[in-house]
Structure 1
Amino acid sequence: MRSATLYFNFTLFRKNLSRFWPIWGLYGFLWLMLLPVNVLVNGEYMGRGQARMLPLEYCSGYLGAAVFFSLVFGILAAMAVFSYLYSSRSAGFLHTLPLRREGLFLTNYLSGLAFLIVPNLAVFLLSVLVEAAFGILVFSSLFTWLVVTCLLNLFFYSFAVFCAMFTGHILALPAFYGILNILAAGLCYLLQDMASRFLFGFTGAAWMEKAATWLTPILYLGQHTGIEYGEAGTNSAYFSGLGYVFLLALVGVAFAGLALVVYRRRQLESAGDVVSVGWVKPVFQYGVAFCCSITLGSLFDNIFSSLLPRSAWILLAWMLLWGAFGCFVAAMLLHKSFWVFKPCWKGCTVFLAILTAAMCLMELDGFGFETRVPAAAQVKTVYLISMESHPNDDLDWITYTIDDPELIEAVTELHRRIAEEKSWLEKAADTRTGSWATDEADGLETQTEGGIDLRLTYNLTDGTVMERYYYLPVTTDTLADPDSPDAMLQALLNTPGLSERLYFRNWSEDDRLVDAVLTAVRRDGVSQGLYTEEYLPAQALPELEAAVRADLAAGNLGRRYLLEDRERLENCCYCDLLLTYRLVETAQENQSVTVSGTAPAAAATQASTRTIAITLQRSATNTMAVLEKYGIDPDTMLPSHAEYQMMES
């Protein structure tokens, strides 16, 4: 007769421990080698700092030992103690015992948890004894390891038990467990990649990435746990992120409770089924179909990209093919039969129709995503992220921060122009090319075709952020057209005064110029190869600084180019001007000392200086006049890139 009150069976608990001892034995052995044995072997050479760090290092990071062991042994323990659910005979026998379902679940659940917790306690006690024997005991560090490891055990094991309740096949359990542990991150990556193909300008969804991190335990732990250090370095190190680990443990408790709810209603006849819960079966079937659609569809689209055009419609065709494949494979697993076309073709057709409609809605911009350009009045700040341009000085690969209303208007106008040119810009992004040509007249090699990655981030007045990414093809012909997106971008970058603000973005009015260096000055009478540094005298610095600022403000210096074309090569010198400033916040007290120009920054230390690198340009008439005044002939000593290329060829 069934007992109405028995909720735990010690005999079954002890039998589980003895029957599945290799699991907890191997788990304990691994920790034994990593902690007490490690200290025993190396304790003679370890200090308290190393003893403090060792257990903490096992707890932190994406796949520290504590996370990895909990992940692996959690599923092994769940497979072991609930293996009876996957055999009709075993399930029927155990459920005839005088034990309520709640008691059977609790006994097996605690058995598997004991496989992990008991070895942790044993390793902790042994580690305390070994460290104490060597006089390097750091109890707080070992106790932190014990708490963190046990909490991680609780989460991963409970999640594995939760997965075990939804399947009647033992091989399906580790598959479900592994997939669900990384599903959110994988879907986030694939969906964003797919959206970038269907949505012109899509660069990512921060909310999706954040949600994926929270739903992917390994990423969650990697981002929120680590080791922090106090003023004493390793002797004051401590584990950071304990609150997040406790939160995961609470989620684990919730998974255990949900697993019990499912277990109480589980049909014993489901042993052997891939999915044991009726309402989960359609979720499984169409979930598999969707995952196959976006995963295998993207994979095969990339494999055949050299044979087929990279088009959103080609990708959709691959997605429909593999979506149908996934739908029927999942149906075969559920029905345990290969003949599933007749009962499943209607559902598959509906699924493919919904998938097609969703993809078409994105491609045809049903949400207005592609044409949305914020009004200039709605923009607080706009960033042009990591802009690549020439020449290669301090403004190459820099982020432009624009908050001037006129420049914001220019950016939004550029954005509108890009949206208008969607069709050919999308094609250009799929066939990125670059080419160079040699002028037959003088042999100068110039770039005729290339491309720019434009990343826009708007901070809007309502507190929201809008991001877009575009690839802009650049050619000599399009640059000659003032209405082309690349010409508009180049004109924007060359707005008078913009380069000055960016070169001197970290500059203070009290900072003092202490050195000016020309990096590559060509010496007279040398036809090839000899270029030397030239330090300008101290008396030239005030004049030079004023001339540089004047040229930058007028747009005659700091000009940016999107191609290494003839204009860029003929205007930009082979030489850079390095201006070194002594910073007011770290400069020495005596600011009146005359600093000679014979060494970089003279008496200033490296920590108290900042150097600005500006490529000299022939159009900078004020700067060139000052250099000529102090003995630097621009025509003979500062060759342009074009002159350098022809002299050195």
Structure 2
Amino acid sequence: MIFNRLFCNRGILFQNFRQHGWLGILFLLTLLFSLPLYIATERRGGITQHITSLFEANGETHILFAITFPVAMGIFLFRYMQSGAPSDLFHGLPLKRKHLLTVNLLSGFGMILIPIWLTTAITGWVWAAQDRMAFIFDGSEIWMWGLSMSIYSLFMFMLTVAVGMCIGQSVLQGLTVYAILLLPVVFWFIFTLHLQHYLFGYPYGDMSSYAEKISLVLRMASISRFPVVDGELIIYAALAVLFIPLAYVLYAKRKVESATQAITFTLVKPIFRFGLMFTLVLIGGAYFTVIAPPGSAGWTIFGYILGGIVGYIVAEMIIRKTWLIWNVRLLPKLALYGLLSALILYVPVADWNGYAARVPEVNDVKSIKLGGDRYTYVNGVNQRMDDHPFYSDNPEFVGAVLALHQKIIDSDLPLLDPVNPDDDYDESVYISYKLNNGKVMKRKYQIPETEFRQELMALKQLEDYKKVAYDTYKLDEDILSIGIRSTISSYRKIYIGSPDQVREFKELLKQDILDQTYEEQRSPWQSFAYAELNQESHSKDPYQPREMWNYEIKPSYDRVIGWLKENKLYDQLLVTADEIASAQFVKQEIDSPGNPQWVFAQPEYIDGSLGSSKQVATKNKKMISDLLERQRSGERTEKATVYQIKLNAIRGENIYMMLKEEDLTEEMKAILSEK
């Protein structure tokens, strides 16, 4: 009886639902339109899609509602705390604060959970009543959706309530909630840029795939691709439960007169001040890192300082609610916060912590993998692949990697600009060590190939390297069929469906890949063709009917090319000079110091230059035949002389290619010099 009269006061409950119930009704309508109505009316030309989570069906919209409506409910239900007159009125009622908080929390829980579970029930009815829908899923996925949405929404609501205890203005309360959600992402991305800029070997590329999982705001973009996992729900549920007693403790200590103040607790003010300041320190440093000219390291430091000053001033203005913030204590406080920010930036990248110079001892290494994490698309979601097969404990391979790593450390290479990397640093090395103590040590480097050629050659000619770099493990699996397409003409393609031929081709291709020399791996010439291996699909998604893997067929793959000739398939991929009417050349000068650019065959460049006096044409069959045998791959450069070439076919599609000046034969140089 006491609980119903005090903790569950009917008058306040009815008042909450009369005044703010429209939020719950709108929440219900949006959920109904975004899920049961969507799956009931979605048509995909009669094609059904098996999904393992209801978030794969318009899931971005579901999360958007889960991170907006509960926040609005938390702000409106506790609006009385942020306004002077309502605060005096409510706190003058014959109810204790714990009674007020309980009844408002119950109002919020009802306005959140009732719409979600009504939507869940209606979705179940649609699932049972519809004979044929575009999405096929199990009944358990419906309950999982309801549970997930409940946890996400309650987390957002309780976070808003807890923040509201420390903030005395409703607008600032809402902004702070989303700032807290985005803060880990800011730290993750921008602090990662800082570490990449100043910490030699930091494996920056491995982190971005995890960033979207640490914020519900970014989760909105990834929910349809990455399924909701139990661990994620447990964390959000635990945080939502933790915020409940925290809200009671903070509310008991909050002063009534703190309404309309930016920060209600003195202890929170330095946290807010430093949090906002350090966030702008990171943003300022990242911004000036991006816009700075190459090699201008001072701009980043200037960005840190400017961001810190602006952040501190803005924080003081918000706290004091005025721009008149100057006093004698302003500069000492700014210096103190600036020193703390500098230490946080400096300590992780300091030389004395040993991170940059650390190379594990051979006896401490269990196995090694080269390359980052890999993902595969299964049943509508991206899943991280098991990387165990990519690790090797071969002593020769381990020794080659350690030798390369030690040479990189000893060479004392300068730190690269993460935004404007040096074009000469053309070799990427990503090392993952599994150590005997159970830890994984990762390092990533961008190095110049010319300086490390001996170590790279010793490593890349090993079979353990080639198996992972060229995915030869897939050639040991069952393959349904193989499609081969010419590199220079997409119309030239063949299909291999015979099990015997598929098996022979796989074996020869694997041998050619594993027999590659270091020079063949670095060849600048385009491949002769591409082989597409089609596997049986393990997915229920009709839009992914099979798994496909592509492999190059390089001109140096003698076994494969010989097999194609023996089986009379080679000529079907070959374009001969008799099929080409003429060849046209257009000279292209690349001269952009400090701004390297990718150069590749550009049809629009040569077609747009056909009326130019620089254009040279020839019908010489010998020259055309030479062109068909040499096509350079694209490359990134600051300065080069290249020729964009168009081969005009007698019938069918024209062929576009590119050669550098040093690739030209004497005959080509002769006709080009005449022009």
Question: Shared fold by TM > 0.5?
Answer: yes
The amino acid across from 2:54 in the alignment is E
- Alpha-carbon distance in structure 1 between the residues aligned to 2:241 and 2:313: 36
SS at match of 1:24: helix
Judged with a 3 Å threshold, the aligned counterparts in structure 2 of structure 1 residues 252 and 532 are, in CA distance, closer, same or farther, namely: closer
Paired residues for 1:31-430 under 5 Å:
31-34=31-34, 42=41, 57=54, 63-65=60-62, 67-120=63-116, 123=119, 145-204=145-204, 215-217=214-216, 241=229, 244-245=232-233, 248-302=236-290, 304-306=291-293, 309-311=295-297, 313-337=298-322, 338-385=324-371, 402-424=392-414, 426=416, 430=420
Contact 1:59 1:145 in 2 (8 A): no
Say whether 1:492 aligns with 2:491: no
Residues 468-527 of structure 1: CA deviation (Å, up to 9, x unaligned):
1112234xxxx3xxxx22453245324599658977943899999x99999799xxxxxx
Structure 1 partner of 2:594:
none
Judged with a 3 Å threshold, the aligned counterparts in structure 2 of structure 1 residues 425 and 37 are, in CA distance, closer, same or farther, namely: closer
Judged with a 3 Å threshold, the aligned counterparts in structure 2 of structure 1 residues 277 and 124 are, in CA distance, closer, same or farther, namely: same
SS at match of 1:20: helix
Q: State the shift of 1:259 in Å.
A: 0.7
Contact 1:188 1:209 in 2 (8 A): no
Structure 1 partner of 2:602:
none
- Alpha-carbon distance in structure 1 between the residues aligned to 2:482 and 2:120: 60
Judged with a 3 Å threshold, the aligned counterparts in structure 2 of structure 1 residues 25 and 350 are, in CA distance, closer, same or farther, namely: same
Query: Which stretch of the first structure deviates more once superposed, 457-466 or 265-274?
Result: 457-466
- Alpha-carbon distance in structure 1 between the residues aligned to 2:148 and 2:516: 61
Q: State the shift of 1:125 in Å.
A: 6.2
Contact 1:574 1:641 in 2 (8 A): no
SS at match of 1:201: coil
SS at match of 1:332: helix
Query: Which stretch of the first structure deviates more once superposed, 275-284 or 12-21?
Result: 12-21
Judged with a 3 Å threshold, the aligned counterparts in structure 2 of structure 1 residues 159 and 277 are, in CA distance, closer, same or farther, namely: same
Judged with a 3 Å threshold, the aligned counterparts in structure 2 of structure 1 residues 104 and 301 are, in CA distance, closer, same or farther, namely: same
The amino acid across from 2:180 in the alignment is L
The amino acid across from 1:81 in the alignment is L
- Alpha-carbon distance in structure 1 between the residues aligned to 2:197 and 2:309: 21
Structure 1 partner of 2:435:
460
Contact 1:520 1:576 in 2 (8 A): yes
Contact 1:148 1:245 in 2 (8 A): yes
Judged with a 3 Å threshold, the aligned counterparts in structure 2 of structure 1 residues 209 and 293 are, in CA distance, closer, same or farther, namely: farther
Paired residues for 1:597-636 under 5 Å:
615-617=554-556
Residues 211-249 of structure 1: CA deviation (Å, up to 9, x unaligned):
x67753456798899899xxxxxxxxxxx7467546533
Q: State the shift of 1:405 in Å.
A: 2.1
Contact 1:166 1:277 in 2 (8 A): yes
Contact 1:62 1:221 in 2 (8 A): yes
- Alpha-carbon distance in structure 2 between the residues aligned to 1:316 and 1:96: 53
The amino acid across from 2:554 in the alignment is T
- Alpha-carbon distance in structure 1 between the residues aligned to 2:280 and 2:91: 38
- Alpha-carbon distance in structure 1 between the residues aligned to 2:349 and 2:427: 23
Contact 2:59 2:223 in 1 (8 A): no
Residues 11-33 of structure 1: CA deviation (Å, up to 9, x unaligned):
12111211223322322332344
Contact 2:482 2:533 in 1 (8 A): yes
SS at match of 2:202: coil
- Alpha-carbon distance in structure 1 between the residues aligned to 2:492 and 2:56: 55
- Alpha-carbon distance in structure 2 between the residues aligned to 1:314 and 1:296: 10
Paired residues for 1:451-600 under 5 Å:
451-474=426-449, 479=450, 484-494=451-461, 505-506=472-473, 557=517, 559-562=519-522, 564=524, 575=528
SS at match of 2:370: strand
- Alpha-carbon distance in structure 1 between the residues aligned to 2:51 and 2:79: 39
The amino acid across from 1:457 in the alignment is S
- Alpha-carbon distance in structure 1 between the residues aligned to 2:475 and 2:400: 28
- Alpha-carbon distance in structure 1 between the residues aligned to 2:402 and 2:344: 29
SS at match of 1:248: helix
Judged with a 3 Å threshold, the aligned counterparts in structure 2 of structure 1 residues 131 and 502 are, in CA distance, closer, same or farther, namely: closer
Contact 1:457 1:466 in 2 (8 A): yes
SS at match of 1:458: strand
Query: Which stretch of the first structure deviates more once superposed, 450-459 or 418-427?
Result: 418-427
Q: State the shift of 1:353 in Å.
A: 2.1
SS at match of 1:274: coil
Q: Which runs of 5+ in 2 are unaligned?
A: 374-388, 537-544, 571-621, 633-658, 669-675
- Alpha-carbon distance in structure 2 between the residues aligned to 1:359 and 1:608: 45
Q: State the shift of 1:38 in Å.
A: 6.0
Residues 559-597 of structure 1: CA deviation (Å, up to 9, x unaligned):
445473xxxx6xxx97579899999xxxxxxxxxxxxxx
The amino acid across from 2:445 in the alignment is Y
- Alpha-carbon distance in structure 2 between the residues aligned to 1:24 and 1:497: 59
The amino acid across from 1:160 in the alignment is T
The amino acid across from 1:468 in the alignment is R
Larger Rg: 1
Contact 2:460 2:518 in 1 (8 A): no
Q: State the shift of 1:267 in Å.
A: 0.7
The amino acid across from 1:452 in the alignment is E
- Alpha-carbon distance in structure 2 between the residues aligned to 1:549 and 1:126: 54
The amino acid across from 2:299 in the alignment is I
SS at match of 2:357: coil
- Alpha-carbon distance in structure 2 between the residues aligned to 1:273 and 1:196: 40
Q: Which runs of 5+ in 1 are unaligned?
A: 229-239, 388-398, 434-448, 522-529, 584-605
The amino acid across from 1:90 in the alignment is P
| TM norm structure 2 | 0.65
Structure 2 partner of 1:600:
none
Q: State the shift of 1:531 in Å.
A: 10
SS at match of 2:60: coil
| TM norm structure 1 | 0.67
Residues 419-440 of structure 1: CA deviation (Å, up to 9, x unaligned):
233344636984433xxxxxxx
Judged with a 3 Å threshold, the aligned counterparts in structure 2 of structure 1 residues 520 and 78 are, in CA distance, closer, same or farther, namely: closer
Query: Which stretch of the first structure deviates more once superposed, 180-189 or 246-255?
Result: 246-255
Q: State the shift of 1:80 in Å.
A: 0.9
Contact 1:382 1:403 in 2 (8 A): yes
Residues 517-576 of structure 1: CA deviation (Å, up to 9, x unaligned):
99799xxxxxxxx999999xxxx99999999999988x7756445473xxxx6xxx9757
- Number of equivalenced pairs: 549
Contact 1:152 1:248 in 2 (8 A): yes
Structure 2 partner of 1:443:
none
SS at match of 1:63: helix
- Alpha-carbon distance in structure 2 between the residues aligned to 1:413 and 1:489: 10
Judged with a 3 Å threshold, the aligned counterparts in structure 2 of structure 1 residues 86 and 135 are, in CA distance, closer, same or farther, namely: same
Say whether 1:18 aligns with 2:43: no
The amino acid across from 1:166 in the alignment is C
- Alpha-carbon distance in structure 2 between the residues aligned to 1:463 and 1:82: 49
Structure 1 partner of 2:644:
none
Fraction of identical pairs, as percent: 19
